[in-house]
Copies of this chain bind each other. A is one copy, B any other.
Amino acid sequence: MNPRRVVATGTFDILHPGHLYYLKESKKMGDELWVIVARDANVKHKPCPIIPEEQRRQIVAALKPVDQAILGDQTDMFRPIKEIQPDVITIGFNQHFDVPTLRQQLIERGLAPEIVRIGKYEDGDLCSSRYVVQRIINVRGKNDENRV
Residues of A near any B CB (own CB < 8 A): 14-17, 20, 47-48, 50-52, 54-55, 58-59, 62-65, 124-126, 130, 132-137, 139-141, 143, 145, 147-148
| Most chain B CB inside 10 Å of its own CB: which residue of A14, A125, A132, A136 | A136
- With contacts A52-B126, A64-B64 taken as known, whether A17 is within 8 angstroms of B145 at the C-beta atoms is no
Establish whether residues A16 and B133, one from each chain, have CB atoms under 8 Å apart when the complex forms. no
Establish whether residues A62 and B59, one from each chain, have CB atoms under 8 Å apart when the complex forms. no
CB distance from A27 to the nearest CB of B (A): 11
Establish whether residues A59 and B147, one from each chain, have CB atoms under 8 Å apart when the complex forms. no
- With contacts A126-B52, A130-B148 taken as known, whether A15 is within 8 angstroms of B59 at the C-beta atoms is yes
Establish whether residues B136 and A50, one from each chain, have CB atoms under 8 Å apart when the complex forms. yes
4 nearest CB pairs, A to B? A141-B141, A137-B141, A136-B136, A17-B58
Chain B residues, CB < 8 A from A58: 17, 20
Establish whether residues B139 and A140, one from each chain, have CB atoms under 8 Å apart when the complex forms. no
Establish whether residues A125 and B52, one from each chain, have CB atoms under 8 Å apart when the complex forms. yes
CA distance A85 to B47 in the complex (A): 46
Q: Report which of B55, B62, B124, B125 forms a contact with A124, defined as CB distance below 8 A.
A: B55
CB distance from A14 to the nearest CB of B (A): 6
Establish whether residues A147 and B47, one from each chain, have CB atoms under 8 Å apart when the complex forms. yes
Establish whether residues B47 and A143, one from each chain, have CB atoms under 8 Å apart when the complex forms. yes
Chain B residues, CB < 8 A from A125: 52, 55
